[in-house]
Amino acid sequence: MKAAIVTGPDQLSIREVETPAPGPTDVLVKMKACGLCGSDPHSLRAGFLVPGAPETRLGHEPAGAVVEVGAEVTGIADGDHVVINPMGVPDAIIGGGGHQGALSEYVLVRDAGLRRNLQIMPPQIPFHVAALVEPMSVARRAVNRTRPKPEDKVVVFGAGPVGLGGLLAYKALGVEHVVVVDVQTNRLTKALALGADAVVNSAEEDLLERLVALHGAASDAFGVQGLPGTDIYLDAAGVPSVVQTVLQSAKQDATLGIVAIHRKPIEVDFEGLIPKELTIVASMGYSEEFFQVADDLTANWEKYALIVSDVRPFEDVEDAIRLAGTPGTTDKVVVTFE
């Protein structure tokens, strides 16, 4: 089979490797689609290699069709359309340093089991949409970490794939008012189509003034007035000014969730945080969220489909990775296989 392999900085090889053979508790899946994460172009540029390993296989957002089922596996049959939880395998994460990556023609799921590392998806859902389950699970985990209530007023910073996944997650949990903030008009238009109650272009509007208009005014523990009445902020943008704005303007007892990757440290005025009693939670990966999203995507796949902006064939995988790593040129890139 063919597999996309990083061998050094900016060095990607499409190589013929041995197709894995399933044992009695395993399932072999032919890849049909694999989404590209922001970590994929970063890994390629950096030449990410596991210590001691000469190469790294990429791809951790897989969807495919079962082609071989071990004799001891139950509930899964040849031909089933499935998504794979890359963190649910007994060896290292698929596409995250393990010996397998989903940017390959086949992936072997060891110790396979439904609702453990595999979920069957209805055949009417396109594979390039089913591949969104993994990145949307990252967003769902971040949302769960902020512990939203239906009456909360929420702001999501960043209308990229994870930010839009956060919007969908808050709405799936019954949150009544969610605002999405970005600087790209096309992304904000997509957020409205996905159910945002309001959007703010922070490059054109006074953000805090707009949030007060949308969420009302509140105060901190010292009685400072005029702060936005926002209960939860989710940073899916990774821009230092987002965190700094929240730290300065949050009301008392608000929550800031951080799922974006910040490549550089951010200076924090901890004394200024005291009267805000701000709760800050970070999020990485997912656990049960993978199957929560699989269920929600099954019920609402046409809405999730709006998140995908580019579909590229596996033959163009290197160009697809570079496209995904070029800011402002695309939103969500998915690689497909014949």
133-155 mean pLDDT: 98
Residue identified by tokens 């499935």 is 82
**In this predicted structure, what is the pLDDT of residue 334?**
98
**Domain check: are 150 and 270 in the same one?**
yes
Q: At what angle do helices 161-172 and 185-193 cross, to 10 degrees?
A: 20
Q: Are residues 119 and 169 in the same domain?
A: no
Query: Pairing state of beta strands 27-35 and 333-336?
Result: antiparallel
Indicate the number of domains in the chain: 2
Residues 197 and 228 in one domain: yes
pLDDT value of position 48: 74
Please tell me whether residues 180 and 258 are part of one structural domain.
Answer: yes
Read off the pLDDT of residues 65-74 as tens digits, 9 standing for 90 and up.
999 999 999 9
Q: Torsions phi, psi of 107, nearest 5? A: -130, 135
Mean pLDDT across 175-192: 97
Cα separation of 238 and 215, whole Å?
A: 23
Which pLDDT score is estimated for 319? 95
Is there a single domain that holds both residue 147 and residue 272? yes
Interstrand relation of 153-157 and 177-182 (parallel, antiparallel or unpaired):
parallel
d(CA 225, CA 138): 35
Residues 6 or more apart whose Cβ sits within 8 Å of residue 299: none
Please, are residues 9 and 48 in contact by the beta-carbon 8 Å criterion? no
Q: What is the pLDDT of residue 92?
A: 75
Looking at residue 99, its pLDDT comes to 85
* pLDDT for 47: 82
Nearest to 192, CA basis, from 329, 298, 303, 331 = 303
Average pLDDT over residues 130-144: 98
pLDDT band per the 50, 70, 90 thresholds, residue 294:
very high
Domain identity same for 216 and 176: yes
Question: Does residue 67 sit in helix, strand or coil?
Answer: strand
Q: What is the pLDDT of residues 87-135, one digit of tens each?
A: 998 877 899 877 899 999 999 999 999 999 999 999 999 999 999 999 9
Check whether residue 163 and residue 219 sit in a common domain. yes
Q: Residue 16 belongs to what domain range?
A: 2-132+308-336
Comparing 52-56, 139-143, 293-297, the range with the smallest average pLDDT is 52-56
Percent of the chain with pLDDT over 70: 99
Per-residue pLDDT, 52? 65
Summarize the confidence of residues 183-202 as an average pLDDT.
97
Same domain, yes or no: 170 and 243: yes
Q: What phi and psi, each to the nearest 5 degrees, are found at residue 106?
A: -140, 150
Three-state secondary structure along 95-112? CCCCCCCCCECEEEECCC
What confidence category does residue 329 fall into, taking pLDDT thresholds of 50, 70 and 90? confident
| Distance between CA atoms of residues 338 and 332, nearest Å | 20
CB 295, CB 168: distance < 8 Å: no
Section 307-330 average pLDDT: 93
Residue 57 and residue 142 in one domain: no
Mapping DSSP to helix (H, G, I), strand (E, B) and coil, where does residue 208 land? helix
Using alpha carbons, select from 114, 60, 108, 69 the residue that is nearest to residue 87.
60
Percentage of residues in the chain with pLDDT exceeding 90?
87
Q: To 5 degrees, how large is the angle CA 85–CA 56–CA 100?
A: 35
Kindly report the average pLDDT of the chain as a whole number.
95
Judgement on whether residues 47 and 78 belong to the same structural domain of the protein: yes
What is d(CA 220, CA 234) in angstroms, rounded to the nearest whole number?
Answer: 19
Give domain status of residue 150, yes or no.
Answer: yes
207-266: pLDDT as tens digits: 999 999 999 999 999 999 999 999 999 999 999 999 999 999 999 999 999 999 998 999
CATH of the domain at 266: 3.40.50.720
188 and 239 assigned to the same domain: yes
Name residue 69's beta-bridge partners.
Answer: 27
Residue 50 pLDDT grade (very low, low, confident, very high; cuts 50, 70, 90): low
